[in-house]
Amino acid sequence: MKLLFAPIWMLLLAGAAAPEPRVAVTGGHVAGRRGEDAALVFRGIPYAAPPLAGNRWKPPQPVRPWRGTRPAAAPAPACLQPDQGWNKADAANASEDCLTLDIRTPGVQGRRPVMVWIHGGSNRAGSARGTVESRLAANGVVLVAIQYRLGIFGFLAHRGAAAEARGHAGNYGLMDQLAALRWVRANIARFGGDPANVTIFGESAGAQDVSLLLAAPASRGLFARAILQSGTPGFGMPPRTRAEGFALGDQAARLVGAKGIAGLRRAPAAALLAADRKLHDPVIARPNAVWNDDMVWLRPQIDGRVLPRSPRALLLLAPPRPVILGTSVAEFGPPEGSIALADALRAAFGMQGEKLARRYRAPDARRGGPLLALSTDLIFGCPTDRLAHLLADRGWPVWRYRFDLARDGGRSSHGSELPYVFDGLPIAGRPALLQRLWVRFAHTGNPDPVAWPRYDGKIPRIAQFDAGGLRTVDVETPAACALHDTL
C-alpha cells in the first residue's frame, strides 16, 4: 500500500506548485514567471531579429523562430549605449542583440487595456529595465516595455544605407518601436490584452518618440491614444534634413576610419560608441545655446520613410487621437553661471533675444535660476504649448498638465513624476493619484471627466499636480515662446 500511495502523494504535492506560465508568440513559445501579486511576468521576448553585422542600419527584420520553449523570466541586455553615469547598469549589461520587450499581465484570459512604455534617455541610453516590475499593471492593464536601438546604432543616417533603401536612411530606433507595436498587435491577446485598445506612453526622449509615432503614417492602427511626459518632436529644435543627416553619417565614418556603409558595419561596436560621443551638429550646438551635442539624437531626422515630412506637417494630416501631455516646472538646464544669460538668448534668437533677458534675470523659488527657467521654457514649455494648441485646434482630445511636486519636498525636475506613475506614490494624501489617472485614460480615453477638463486653446485650463493635490489652473505661455515657433 505504501508503494501505491507514495507516488500519488508526490504527484499531489507537485501539482500544488503553480506551473510557469507559457505562451505561444511569433517565433515560438516563451516561459515567464509569476510575480509576487500573482501577475504573470515575461522578460526579454524578441520582437525582431538581432540587428547585427549586415543588419546594422537596416529596418528591423522578422523574428527568427526558435525550437522548444524560450526562457523569458530574466531581464534581457539593454541596447548598446555609452556609460553616462545614471545608466551605468544598462551600459554594463548591453548588447546589439537587444530588440526585446517585457510584459506584465494579470492573466492571459480576458481583454484588458494595454499600456506600452517607451523609455527615455536622449535616444542614446536607457532600457526597459524594471518597468514591468512596477505596480502599474495591478490596475487591470497589460503593461509592455520595449527596447529599441539607440544613438549611432539607432538613428544615424548614412548615404550608403540610403543607396540600399531607395534614398531612405535613419530612424532605425523608431522603426524598432513600430515593429514592437506590430508585435503587440499580433500577440498581446495571448497575454490577456486588447490589441484594439493600446496606449503608448513615454518620458523625455520616450515622449518625443511617442509624438513622432503620432505623426508617422506607418503607425496608423497600432495604438489608440498617447501620453507624452516632458517631450515633444525635437524639443524645440528644427528637424534634420536628409542632407544634414548624411553629413552626420559622413562625420561618423571619418571618426571610426570606415569607408562607406560596409566599413561602418564592420567597425567594432566600441569604436562606434566612442564616435557617437564626438558627433557634432552645427545647427543645434551653437555657442552658448541651450541645445547642444548631447541632444544630437533628439533632433528628428526626415528620413523619407518613417518621417517623410516634418513632424509638424505630418501631425496636421494625422488622425485625431486622445493625448495627455505636460511638463515639470523646472526640467533641466545648464548650471547657473556656466552661460551668460544674454549670450544664451542672443544665441537662440539673435538680437531680439536680449529683450527677453530681463524676464529671466530673477531667480524663482519654484522654477529655479534664470538658466534653468529659460531652458525649461525653450526645450519643454514652448514646444509643449505649441503642440497642445496644434492638436486641440484640430479637434484632438487633449489633456494638459504641469507637475510641481518632488518626493524630497524640493523642486520638481525632469522625471519627477515617474515614481508617482509607476510606484503609485500618493499626492496630497490621495494614494496613486497620478497612476490611477493614467490607467483611467488607458481604459476610457479620458483621465478624469470631472476634475481634469479637456484642454481648449481658447480657454487654456490645465491640471496642476502639487502639494495640494490636483487642481485646475490657467496656463500662461512662457515669455520665450513669442520668439520661438518650433515644435
Question: Over the stretch 420-442, which tens digit does the pLDDT of each residue have?
Answer: 999 999 999 999 999 999 999 99
State the average pLDDT over residues 28-43.
94
Return the domain boundaries, the chain: 23-251+270-483
Contacts of 482 (CB under 8 A, 6+ apart): none
What proportion of the chain, given as a percentage, has pLDDT over 70? 96
- Residue 287 is predicted with a pLDDT of 66
Q: What angle do CA 338, 340, 342 make, to 5 degrees?
A: 155
State the average pLDDT over residues 348-372.
82
- Residue 288 is predicted with a pLDDT of 66
Give CATH for domain 23-251+270-483. 3.40.50.1820
- Going by pLDDT thresholds of 50, 70 and 90, the confidence category of residue 246 is very high
Position of cell 504527484?
11
Q: Which of 101-110, 232-241, 331-340, 378-387 has the lowest mean pLDDT?
A: 331-340
- Write out the H or E segment, with its range, that includes residue 45: strand 40-46
Q: Are 114 and 223 in contact (CB under 8 A)?
A: no
Q: Please check the confidence at residue 9 and state whether its pLDDT lies above 90.
A: no
- Residue 409 is predicted with a pLDDT of 73
Distance CA 364, CA 478 (A): 14
Position of cell 528644427?
238
User: Of 36, 396, 69, which Cα lies nearest the Cα of 211?
Assistant: 396
State the average pLDDT over residues 158-181.
97
State the average pLDDT over residues 466-478.
91
Q: Which of 122-131, 142-151, 409-418 has the lowest mean pLDDT?
A: 409-418
State the average pLDDT over residues 211-222.
98
Active site residues: 204, 331, 414
Q: Please check the confidence at residue 13 and state whether its pLDDT lies above 50.
A: no
Q: Which of 38-47, 79-88, 344-353, 430-439 has the lowest mean pLDDT?
A: 344-353
- pTM for this predicted structure: 0.95
- Detail the DSSP E strand segments found in 154-259: 193-203, 225-229
Q: Which of 240-244, 256-260, 343-347, 449-453 has the lowest mean pLDDT?
A: 343-347
User: Of 333, 313, 305, 174, which Cα lies nearest the Cα of 239?
Assistant: 313
- Going by pLDDT thresholds of 50, 70 and 90, the confidence category of residue 485 is confident
Q: What angle do CA 342, 343, 345 make, to 5 degrees?
A: 65
- Residue 107, CA distances (Å) to 194, 250, 254, 257, 307 in order: 12, 49, 51, 51, 37
Question: Over the stretch 388-417, which tens digit does the pLDDT of each residue have?
Answer: 999 999 999 999 999 999 877 789 999 999
Give the residue with greater pLDDT, 348 vs 399.
Answer: 399
Contacts of 417 (CB under 8 A, 6+ apart): 203, 229, 328, 403, 405, 434, 465
Kindly report the average pLDDT of the chain as a whole number: 92
- Going by pLDDT thresholds of 50, 70 and 90, the confidence category of residue 17 is low
User: Of 28, 41, 213, 262, which Cα lies nearest the Cα of 138?
Assistant: 41
- Residue 174, CA distances (Å) to 53, 160, 181, 297 in order: 19, 19, 11, 12
What single string gives the DSSP state of each residue in 253-305? Answer: HHHHT--HHHHHHHS-HHHHHHHHTT---TTT--TT-S--GGGGGGSPB--SS
Q: Which of 127-131, 220-224, 262-266, 403-407 has the lowest mean pLDDT?
A: 403-407
State the average pLDDT over residues 77-92.
97
Q: Please check the confidence at residue 15 and state whether its pLDDT lies above 60.
A: no
